[in-house]
Structure 1
Amino acid sequence: MDFEHELEKLARQEETLIFPAFDEDLAWQLGEALRVRARAAGQAVTIVIRRGEDIVFLHAMPGTTPANADWARRKHNVVTLMQRSSYAVSLECRRDGKGLDEKMGLPLRDYAWHGGCFPIRVAAAGMIGTVTVSGLPQRADHELVVAGLAQLLGHDEAALALD
């Protein structure tokens, strides 16, 4: 894998997928868009959207388990701390050959450096929350989130997709 190329694409996604404002209605629209996409693809995922630490959308599809919600919590912790998508953090850790447990002494029980959580940013406000999907391989979790954000924000999904 070309880590640098993939990390450049991830940085572009994070720079592009910014809301002008974000509230509970948008959280519902985003969560529903992700649920519809996953269902249409025959995927079972847990979707968690947070504003700060408040959960503003939660849906566990049939076929998921409480472990998926725990993965979502742990991915959220990574994004909240690093202010980057959990997939970007995962790629950096893989590239460097060290996880966050080694790099920063973070307990694996509370920090999962695996893809599927993305920062929710608002123009002029910065990061105000996260959107997390858990249940697929980490790159697929990430891609689902990005596709849903691109759709809701009116961006070209193909232009933001990973290679």
Structure 2
Amino acid sequence: MHHDDMDRVRAQEKALVFSRFDEQTAFRIGSAIRERGLTENWPIMAEVRLWDRPLFFAALPGSTASNVDWIRRKFNVVKMFHRSTYGLVLEERSPDRQFKVGTGLPITDYVLAGGGFPIRVEGAGVVGAVVVSGLPERQDHAVVVEALCGELGVAYGDMALED
């Protein structure tokens, strides 16, 4: 576990906020993730979606049907908590990837796994999520953050998790 990650993730969640967000924004973010994945030969799936509908979806070579389910469950977690899924992983420290029994969140629909990040809009709050699946969870998270930084004009070096 990277001990500085929790503070850095909180800073990411605070800093990566949109003044507005629309279909074109979603497409640019998704396209950036897809291009990076193709360049790196990553077997990933990426989705950018608002609560009511998907705006971007891409499946790269090597991704599988199981990635669809990981994305769905990570998205549900962002929708429930309005937080990045990796941030929750760090806080919950759950070895079996499940939320505590008392939350009533079944593993079939909610999973503690990094790679989901809230789309936060000034004045509106969290309106959706960007989700990546297919790499180790810390890397899934980093891929999303890098794309959000690129779209928002935030220096990724200032936001990146420490090596």
How far did residue 53 of structure 1 move? 2.8
How far did residue 63 of structure 1 move? 0.9
Task: For structure 2, list consecutive stretches of 5 or more residues without a partner in the other structure.
Answer: none
Task: For structure 1, list consecutive stretches of 5 or more residues without a partner in the other structure.
Answer: none
**C-alpha RMSD over aligned residues:** 1.7
Q: Given the superposition, is the C-alpha separation of residues 98 and 151 from structure 1 closer, same or farther in structure 2, using an over 3 Å criterion?
A: closer
Q: Given the superposition, is the C-alpha separation of residues 68 and 96 from structure 1 closer, same or farther in structure 2, using an over 3 Å criterion?
A: closer
2:152 is matched with: 153
Q: Is 2:98–2:106's contact at 8 Å kept on the other side of the alignment?
A: no
1:31 is matched with: 30
Q: Is 2:6–2:90's contact at 8 Å kept on the other side of the alignment?
A: yes
Sequence identity, in percent?
Answer: 40
2:76 is matched with: 77
How far did residue 66 of structure 1 move? 1.3
> Secondary structure at 2:93's aligned position in 1?
helix
How far did residue 90 of structure 1 move? 0.8
Give the structure with the higher percent helix: 1
Stretch moving more, 55-64 or 99-108 = 99-108
1:105 is matched with: 104
Letter in 1 for 2:120: R
Q: Is 2:44–2:134's contact at 8 Å kept on the other side of the alignment?
A: yes
Listed one character per residue, the Cα deviations across residues 79-106 of structure 1 (whole Å, up to 9, x for unaligned) are 1101100000111111799841435121
CA–CA distance in 2 between the matches of 1:10 and 1:103?
A: 25
TM-score of the two chains, using structure 2 as the length reference = 0.93
> Secondary structure at 1:100's aligned position in 2?
coil
TM-score of the two chains, using structure 1 as the length reference = 0.93
CA–CA distance in 2 between the matches of 1:67 and 1:123?
A: 34
Where do 4+ consecutive residues of structure 1 move more than 3 Å?
A: 95-99
